[in-house]
């Protein structure tokens, strides 16, 4: 897929990433900056395993624990969100911090971001149900234009 499917994706420079990490009290090591840049700029809803296999080619000595720790720290810092989806038992990391929903392409397993104006949700609940968040995964196929 292309970056074009992620219009909200902000690709930060290493210097911007460094100052974002410092701003939230995280030591900006080269490994953290690299992981952050990968998940913000290149990866598309990766799992920790996806990030690890990317790291294996770029930082051969990075352990899975380091990957998990760094992702966890980025989530705590509010630079990354984590989701669990019904189709996978893996935690999925999402660099899109805007409110959005997901379309799951069942043929490829790819998750595509949907903006709130693409999916209208009108809860009709009694007042006692106080909604904090809404997560939507629409499953289907993507028709190829012929
Ligand atoms: Zn997303």
137 strand-pairing partners: 102
Is residue 5 pLDDT above 50, yes or no?
no
What CA–CA distance (Å, rounded) separates 80 from 78? 6
Q: Is 41 exposed, middle or buried (0-12, 13-18, 19+ CB in 10 A)?
A: middle
Question: 4 Cβ partners below 8 Å, 6+ apart?
Answer: none
> For residue 3, how far is its CA from the centre of ligand 1 (angstroms)?
13
* Confidence (pLDDT) at 4: 41
> For residue 110, how far is its CA from the centre of ligand 1 (angstroms)?
10
Mean pLDDT along residues 110-119: 93
Is residue 126 pLDDT above 90, yes or no?
yes
> For residue 112, how far is its CA from the centre of ligand 1 (angstroms)?
7
> For residue 51, how far is its CA from the centre of ligand 1 (angstroms)?
16
Is residue 56 pLDDT above 60, yes or no?
yes
* Confidence (pLDDT) at 9: 54
> For residue 6, how far is its CA from the centre of ligand 1 (angstroms)?
8
Q: How far is CA 37 from CA 27, 56, 83, in A?
A: 15, 15, 19
0.85 exceeded by the pTM?
no
> For residue 124, how far is its CA from the centre of ligand 1 (angstroms)?
25
* Confidence (pLDDT) at 105: 93
Question: What is the maximum alpha-carbon separation in the chain?
Answer: 54
> For residue 94, how far is its CA from the centre of ligand 1 (angstroms)?
5
Is residue 13 pLDDT above 70, yes or no?
yes
């Amino acid at each position: 897929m292309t970056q074009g499917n992620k219009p909200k994706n902000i690709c930060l420079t290493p210097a911007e990433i460094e100052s974002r990490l410092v701003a939230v009290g995280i030591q900006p090591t080269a490994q953290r900056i690299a992981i952050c840049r990968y998940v913000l700029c290149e990866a598309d809803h990766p799992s920790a395993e996806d990030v690890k296999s990317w790291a294996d080619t770029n930082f051969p000595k990075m352990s899975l624990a380091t990957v998990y720790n760094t992702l966890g720290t980025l989530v705590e810092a509010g630079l990354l969100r984590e989701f669990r989806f019904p189709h996978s038992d893996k935690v999925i990391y999402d660099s899109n911090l805007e409110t959005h929903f997901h379309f799951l392409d069942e043929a490829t397993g790819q998750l595509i971001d949907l903006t709130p104006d693409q999916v209208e949700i009108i809860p009709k609940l009694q007042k006692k149900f106080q909604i904090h968040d809404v997560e939507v995964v629409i499953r289907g196929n993507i028709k190829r234009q012929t």
